Amino acid sequence: MEDRISTLPSNIIEAILLRLPIADAVRSSVLSSRWRYEWSTIPHLIFDKHSVPSSLHYKLEKIVDQVLLLHSGPIHKFVFDGYAYLEDFAVVNRWITVLSRNNLRELVLRFCPDRLYKLPSTLFFCKGIVILDLHDCEFRLPRVFEGLGNLCTLSLENVVISDNDFVTLISNCPLLEKVAFMDFYGCSRLRFNAPNLRELIIDGLFEDIYLENTPDLAILSVGLDDADDLDDEGDSDNEDVEKEHYNFMTSLNAVLKIENLSLRHNMLEFLAGDGLLDRLPTYNYLKKLHLSCVNFEDTRHIAILQCWFRSTPVLEELTIEADSVDSSNPAASFWEGKERADFRFNQLRYLTVTEILGVGPEMELIEFVLANSPVLETLYIRLDNDVCDEVKIYKQIMRFRRASTRAEIINLD
């Protein structure tokens, strides 16, 4: 029988090897003389749970060492997902040195969350790098940092970095398009001077975000963690903090090309502290809006909701996660005596309301949106777990008039 696969051109053999977990790819060297060295030039080296059999995890470092030693040619992508406990980070420094000489374009590192890896300065001289996805790391930029001129995607999670280093890093990567910044320590005033930024995700504890120069930002998702430890000392700083919020407000006024906005966790509270109301510009591109932790019994929250509704004429998808406090104020109303606004959700197609308790203002909101959304396709509803009388709530919702003849209601429970 003739050997079919080995007559394939080298680029196809490489394409096949690239689609194999690294263990299988390396093992192909014992197949036949034709395959002996084929694996050693594959440009992607991925070490994670999937690509290395679990029986070998305990010596993952040695495996990486060996593979790097035997490999030849460029390594465009290197992934080390170190679910395994690393005895000594020195090995990682060694890998990065090797990688920095081999045309690295994409680097993904993940270690144990409880021990941070201090990034070696070598990394910041890998000018060709396009994608950086680093977890459990500590940043200290070298004194001379000329920037990463090709970096497009930066994802940092569970990292330590100072405010200054963060600003320097971001503003020296001019091509940056996507940034995800989560669980960070050591910095609290995040400034973004990134003219090409299109997507920004921030999740953590911060005092302020300043989108200094991000004219093309299309996707913004911000979640503010609970400031448990800081609560007590908060009072004396209050004035300062509020002043700092001002930057985020200014920033929101500047990102007019935003298409998808998500404000999570304490963000509503963050905005509520600010008296921004009525100050939002009109967002003519904003199609998706996601607001979480909305307390329908807090008039400030409701004011913010109304403010957003007025500013988003082309909204297509609205998602609201409620976090209401039940019956503290049974008389509360969504409209609070204000005249019902004259706006309509002319393009709204999907409304999702979750964790609702069925308190008055929540029901009013649903009623209002159903009555003013002529092209609504679906209303998704999920009640809070504490709700006892579900039937009553659903019955009430069923009775609401719908401006859209096509609108259906789907229960997500």
Partner 1 sequence: MSESEMAIIKPEAMKSYVWLQCADGSIQQVEEEVAMFCPMICREILQTGTGSSKNYAISLPERVNPPILSLILDYCRFHQVPGRSNKERKTFDEKFIRIDTKRLCELTSAADSLQLKPLVDLTSRALARMIEGKTPEEIRETFHLPDDLTEEEKLEPLKNTNDDPRIRLLNRLYAKKRKELKERQKLKDVEVEEPRVDERSVDEILSFINGDGDSKSAKASKNKKKNRRKKEQTKDPSRTDSEKSHKKDASTLSLVISEAGGSYSPSSSRASEIQHNPEDAFATRVDFEDGDVDDGLDPAMKEELDREVEDFARRLNSDWPERMQEILSLSQERRAVPNLMNGNGSLRRYTGILVINGPSNMWMT
Judged by beta carbon, residue 80 or residue 283, the one nearer partner 1 is 80
| Dihedral angle of Cα 77, 67, 18, 3, to the nearest 10 degrees | 160
Judged by beta carbon, residue 24 or residue 389, the one nearer partner 1 is 24
Judged by beta carbon, residue 47 or residue 248, the one nearer partner 1 is 47
Q: Please give the distance of CA 234 from its chain centroid, rounded to a whole number.
A: 27
| Beta partners for residue 354, in sequence order | 321, 382
Shortest Cβ 50–partner 1 spacing (Å): 10
Judged by beta carbon, residue 60 or residue 137, the one nearer partner 1 is 60
Using CA atoms, how far apart are residues 193 and 167, in angstroms rounded to an integer? 8
Closest CA to 318 of 335, 305, 337: 305
Judged by beta carbon, residue 4 or residue 399, the one nearer partner 1 is 4
Shortest Cβ 48–partner 1 spacing (Å): 15
Shortest Cβ 37–partner 1 spacing (Å): 9
Shortest Cβ 170–partner 1 spacing (Å): 35
> Can you list the alpha helix ranges (DSSP code H) found in 87-137?
90-100
Judged by beta carbon, residue 5 or residue 410, the one nearer partner 1 is 5
Using CA atoms, how far apart are residues 207 and 307, in angstroms rounded to an integer? 23
Shortest Cβ 199–partner 1 spacing (Å): 23
Shortest Cβ 253–partner 1 spacing (Å): 39
Judged by beta carbon, residue 56 or residue 341, the one nearer partner 1 is 56
Closest CA to 64 of 86, 45, 43: 45
Judged by beta carbon, residue 9 or residue 330, the one nearer partner 1 is 9
Shortest Cβ 30–partner 1 spacing (Å): 4
Q: Which residue has the tokens 């807090």?
A: 298
Query: Is the distance from CB of 273 to CB of 301 less than 8 angstroms?
Result: no
Judged by beta carbon, residue 11 or residue 385, the one nearer partner 1 is 11
Shortest Cβ 20–partner 1 spacing (Å): 5
Residues that bind partner 1 (CB under 8 A): 1-9, 11-12, 15-17, 19-21, 23-24, 26-36, 53-56, 59, 62-63, 66, 69-70
Q: How far is CA 397 from CA 105, 226, 246, 362, in A?
A: 53, 33, 39, 11
Judged by beta carbon, residue 26 or residue 359, the one nearer partner 1 is 26
Using CA atoms, how far apart are residues 328 and 318, in angstroms rounded to an integer? 26
Shortest Cβ 2–partner 1 spacing (Å): 6
Shortest Cβ 333–partner 1 spacing (Å): 45
Query: Is the distance from CB of 214 to CB of 253 less than 8 angstroms?
Result: no
Angle at 31 between CA 26 and CA 33, to 5 degrees: 100
Q: Which residue has the tokens 């096949």?
A: 16
Q: Which residue has the tokens 């090995």?
A: 91
Q: What's the count of helices (H) and strands (E) in the chain, helices before strands? A: 10, 17
For 19-72, the DSSP string reads TS-HHHHHHGGGT-GGGTTGGGG-SEEEESTTTS-GGGGGGHHHHHHHHHHH--
Q: Which residue has the tokens 């009430």?
A: 396
The H-or-E segment that residue 350 falls in is: strand 350-356
